[in-house]
């Protein structure tokens, strides 16, 4: 293997201009399957991914509980978001932490993504092991080992483009202290936060102080500004929308002030935007995009939406402005193991299998019977570690018999993928017996 991750821990070869190393991603098909891969049948053990897929497996061949990705829905979502960001004049650096799946990152980059956003130094190292060339760390980089690694990796490969965040003068001093002597400056974005939000300087004035400290640093370079509006709202009510619009206006004010002071280097990045309010970010920040520098410093506006590629049947389905065009690509499949009461069924999936922090799974259909075969009043009332409580008002044992399998709609992909190290990709989640057409590896 010439580049990317190998058993020897080799990083991507220098001089590679690709956004991600396709050879290293493709090599995942050579990995051997085993009992550590939840949901796969014993018939898969000892075979490579490629060999198992050659047996033409179907969903019915897998072991419940199982979590799947719908291939057509993923393709739809990638295309929809690529077209939407392009039409609005902004770039996209999908938040790769949502999936931690290089195979999916490759699809996003192939569709024109500007780079990949991540949240921890270790996640950045995973991305580099697969040859990702441009990484936006949506966090402050204050881990000493991570700092030194980024500096060394930037010096080793001049084509590696990296930026991280700073939100205080103390952060700047810490980075200066722990970077030590380095030939490569680390590019940083000043993060603006908001009252009761997450990280970020709490005012434009304090953000300017942070930027001033960066300009005085011999080891850092001011490369733009960053923010996260999603921490300031959780619905589409008037109060949340007004708060976010005001915040984005402050981000624009900060950028203009930094540009006027001449504190940027050759260009600037302005980044915000999760998967809940990308439309508001476009309205508030897209006008700053000026990659040719016709009005001053060349500026790239970057959205960091991550959940869109998978979407869901819960939180994002209710808040995303593109919910009508995006499709949920994730589903849970669970089997009835107990009918202890007429109106209660226990399924063999739980908190270790499916997300539950932004809404419980929702029963969608009974495999083999379709939506018509499922009690329309059925709901999930609770999850234990390995059980789902399915309530069936007015039902009886014939509604959901022992051994029957249900498809569940899920909410919040960000806490779904981390529960599975290998995820079956099916051709159509609504088919009578979906085909397994791929296996996606995750790195959590």
Measured between alpha carbons, how far is residue 244 from residues 48, 72, 266, 277 in Å?
Answer: 48, 33, 29, 9
Kindly state whether residue 289 falls inside one of the protein's structural domains. yes
Using 50, 70 and 90 to split pLDDT, how confident is the model at 290?
Answer: very high
- Tell me what pLDDT residue 131 has: 97
- pLDDT for 176 equals 94
Asked, for residue 218, whether it belongs to a domain, the answer is yes
Q: What is the CATH number of the domain that holds 222?
A: 3.20.20.10
Task: Name 60's Cβ contacts closer than 8 Å, sequence gap at least 6.
Answer: 433
Q: pLDDT for 67-107, tens place per residue?
A: 999 999 999 999 999 999 999 999 999 999 999 999 999 99
Q: Does 139 share its domain with 270?
A: yes
Assess if residue 17 is contained within a domain: no
Q: Domain range for residue 381? A: 330-409
N- to C-terminal Cα distance for the chain? 24
Residue 359 lies in a domain: yes
DSSP string, 203-244: SHHHHHHHHHHHHT-SSEEEEEEE--GGGG-SS-SHHHHHHH
Does residue 66 lie in a domain region? no
**Per-residue pLDDT averaged across 221-239, rounded?**
93
Residues 6+ apart with CB under 8 A from 12: 3, 4, 21, 24, 128, 129, 130, 131, 133, 157
Interval 4-33: pLDDT, tens:
333 333 334 333 345 999 999 999 999 999
Do residue 214 and residue 343 come from a single domain? no
Same domain, 109 and 250: yes
User: What is the spatial distance between Cα 227 and Cα 230, in angstroms, rounded to a whole number?
Assistant: 9
d(CA 346, CA 337): 6
Q: Are residues 139 and 225 in the same domain?
A: yes
**Do both 113 and 237 map to the same domain?**
yes
Average pLDDT, the chain: 93
Q: How far apart are CA 289 and CA 35, in angstroms?
A: 50
Say if residue 279 is in the same domain as residue 348: no
CATH number of the CATH domain containing 346: 2.40.37.20
How distant, in Å, are the alpha carbons of 167, 267, 382 from that of 297? 22, 6, 53
- Answer yes or no: is 150 within a domain: yes
Q: Domain count of the chain?
A: 2
Question: What pairs with residue 331 in β-bridges?
Answer: 68, 409
In this structure, are 338 and 299 located in the same domain?
no
Worst-scoring range by mean pLDDT, 28-32, 167-171, 304-308, 394-398?
A: 394-398
Of residues 25 and 368, more confidently modeled? 25
Model confidence at 399, pLDDT cuts 50, 70, 90, reads confident
What pLDDT was estimated at residue 398?
76
Whole-structure pTM value: 0.93
Percent of the chain, pLDDT > 70?
A: 95
pLDDT given for residue 18 in this prediction: 59
């Amino acid at each position: 293997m010439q580049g990317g991750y190998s058993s020897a821990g080799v990083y991507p070869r220098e001089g590679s201009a690709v956004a991600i190393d396709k050879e290293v991603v493709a090599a995942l098909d050579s990995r051997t399957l085993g009992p550590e891969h939840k949901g796969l049948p014993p018939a898969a053990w000892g075979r490579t991914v490629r060999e198992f897929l050659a047996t033409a497996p179907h969903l019915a061949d897998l072991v419940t509980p199982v979590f799947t990705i719908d291939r057509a829905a993923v393709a739809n979502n990638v295309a929809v978001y690529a077209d939407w960001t392009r039409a609005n004049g902004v770039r996209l650096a999908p938040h790769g932490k949502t999936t931690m799946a290089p195979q999916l990152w490759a699809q996003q980059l192939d569709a024109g993504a500007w780079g990949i956003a991540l949240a921890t130094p270790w996640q950045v190292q995973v991305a580099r092991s697969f040859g990702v060339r441009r990484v936006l760390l949506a966090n402050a980089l204050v881990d000493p080992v991570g700092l030194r690694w980024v500096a060394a990796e930037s010096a080793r490969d001049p084509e590696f483009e990296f930026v991280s965040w700073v939100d205080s003068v103390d952060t700047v001093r810490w980075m200066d202290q722990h970077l030590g002597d380095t030939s490569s400056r680390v590019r940083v974005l000043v993060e603006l936060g908001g009252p009761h939000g997450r990280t970020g300087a709490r005012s434009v004035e304090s953000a300017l102080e942070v930027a001033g400290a960066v300009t005085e640093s011999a080891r850092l370079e001011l490369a733009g500004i960053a923010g996260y509006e999603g921490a300031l709202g959780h619905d589409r009510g008037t109060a949340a929308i007004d708060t976010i619009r005001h915040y984005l206006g402050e981000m624009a004010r900060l950028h203009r002030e930094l540009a006027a002071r001449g504190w940027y280097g050759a260009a600037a990045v302005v980044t915000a935007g999760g998967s809940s309010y990308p439309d508001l970010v476009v309205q508030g920040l897209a006008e700053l995009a000026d990659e040719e520098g016709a009005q001053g410093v060349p500026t790239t506006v970057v959205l960091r939406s991550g959940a869109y590629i998978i979407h869901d049947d819960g939180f994002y389905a209710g808040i995303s402005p593109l919910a009508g065009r995006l499709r949920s690509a994730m589903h849970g499949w669970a089997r009835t193991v107990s009918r202890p009461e007429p109106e209660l069924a226990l399924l063999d999936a739980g908190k270790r299998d499916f997300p539950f922090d932004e809404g419980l799974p929702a029963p969608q259909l009974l495999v083999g019977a379709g939506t018509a075969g499922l009690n329309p009043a059925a709901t999930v009332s609770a999850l234990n570690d390995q059980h789902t409580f399915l309530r069936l008002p007015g039902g009886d044992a014939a509604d959901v018999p022992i051994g029957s399998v249900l498809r569940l709609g899920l909410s919040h992909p960000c806490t779904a993928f981390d529960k599975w190290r290998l995820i079956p990709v099916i051709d159509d989640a609504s088919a009578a017996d979906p085909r397994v057409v791929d296996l996606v590896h995750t790195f959590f």
